[in-house]
């Protein structure tokens, strides 16, 4: 039997910040499904949800228990996956949402900064075979104590790239709120130029010098497993920045 190698699409918080944007994301997913057939989607928490949840925890105590903090933070992404699944259903597109633990994302015990140890893709592959879009919560996994852990800020990038590596995806598309990677932050410097192509090394260097458009650790994983990336906007849908070897 031919192995299914899905395209992975990741949508950051700004792309799912409002109901209108969630509907827009569902349209992009349907378009990509028509083109590539098998799609795995990774989503972040809507807008500033993660910051707001952290703020709430610190309003209760100046030293929140890390296990409970992870329990709280993971709820942001859980909102997004359910809403995106419903938006797809309303377009007659079969889709199923999975939390990190349900998706088989195994992580270590370091609460709030866990590393992914392995991914058991059995359940994801089962749904792909049924022609469903699989929507996975970014930024979370399950640790050896069977507790939810989170992967560090910006960790949905890591979820998407690790899944693309494990599923041998031809490409991992990272949808954000700018048209790609620019010479410098385009929100700070309007004259910044979009870069069409970067090697992993160049992207790592940019991430290391403050271009927080992507989590630096996720680029290391992309480099290690040769995951081809395209960073692009979910709003304009112009061609973005390709990151490859």
The residues that touch ligand ASP, with contacts defined as CB under 6 A, are 12-13, 44-45, 50, 76, 138-139, 153-157
Looking at the Cβ atoms of 12 and 101, the one nearer to Mg ion is 12
Q: What angle do CA 163, 68, 86 make, to 5 degrees?
A: 50
Q: Does 184 bind ligand ADP (CB under 6 A)?
A: yes
Q: Is position 154 an interface residue for ligand ADP (rule: CB under 6 A)?
A: yes
CA angle 30, 244, 5 (to 5 degrees): 40
Closest CA to 70 of 182, 145, 161, 163: 145
Residue 68: other Cβ atoms inside 10 A: 14
Tell me: does residue 177 bind ligand ADP (CB under 6 A): yes
Output 28 or 215, the one with its CB closest to Mg ion: 215
Interactions with Mg ion, residue window 118-177 (CB under 5 A) = 154
Site size for Mg ion (CB under 5 A): 2
Return the range that interacts with ligand ADP (CB under 6 A); candidates 57-65, 94-102, 138-146, 183-191.
183-191
Distance, in Å, from the CA atom of 120 to the CA atom of 165, rounded to the nearest integer, reads: 12
Beta bridge partners of 173: 9, 230
Considering beta carbons, is residue 6 or 12 the nearer one to ligand ADP? 12
Give me the least distance between CB of 66 and ligand ADP, in Å please.
Answer: 23
Our CB check for ligand ADP shows the closer of 78 and 184 to be 184
Which three-class secondary structure string do you get for 10-56?
EECHHHHCCHHHHHHHHHHHHHHHHHHCCEEEEECCCCCHHHHHHHH
Which spans of this chain sit near Mg ion (rule: CB under 5 A)? 12, 154
Residues engaged in binding ligand ADP (CB under 6 A): 12-14, 44, 154, 176-178, 181-182, 184-187, 206, 211-213
């Amino acid at each position: 039997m031919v192995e299914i190698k899905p395209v992975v699409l990741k949508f950051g918080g700004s792309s799912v910040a409002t109901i209108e944007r969630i509907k827009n994301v569902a349209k992009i997913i349907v378009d990509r499904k028509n083109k590539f057939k098998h799609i795995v989607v990774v989503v972040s928490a809507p807008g500033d949800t993660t910051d707001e949840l952290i703020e709430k925890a610190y309003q209760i105590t100046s030293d929140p228990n890390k296990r409970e903090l992870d329990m709280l933070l993971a709820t942001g992404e859980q909102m997004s996956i359910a809403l995106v699944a419903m938006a797809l259903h309303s377009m007659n597109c079969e889709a199923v949402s999975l939390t990190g633990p349900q998706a088989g994302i195994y992580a270590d015990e370091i609460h709030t900064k866990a590393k992914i140890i392995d991914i058991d893709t059995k359940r994801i592959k089962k749904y792909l075979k049924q022609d469903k879009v699989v929507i996975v919560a970014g930024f979370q996994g399950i640790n050896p104590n069977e507790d939810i852990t989170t992967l560090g800020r910006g960790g949905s990038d890591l979820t998407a790239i690790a899944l693309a590596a494990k599923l041998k995806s031809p490409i991992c598309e990272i949808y954000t709120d700018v048209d790609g990677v620019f010479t410098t932050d385009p929100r700070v410097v309007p004259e910044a130029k979009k870069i069409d192509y970067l090697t992993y090394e160049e992207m790592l260097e940019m991430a290391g010098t403050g271009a927080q458009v992507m989590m630096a650790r996720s680029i290391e994983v992309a480099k290690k497993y040769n995951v081809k990336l395209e960073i692009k906007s979910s709003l304009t849908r112009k061609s973005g920045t390709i990151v490859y070897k």
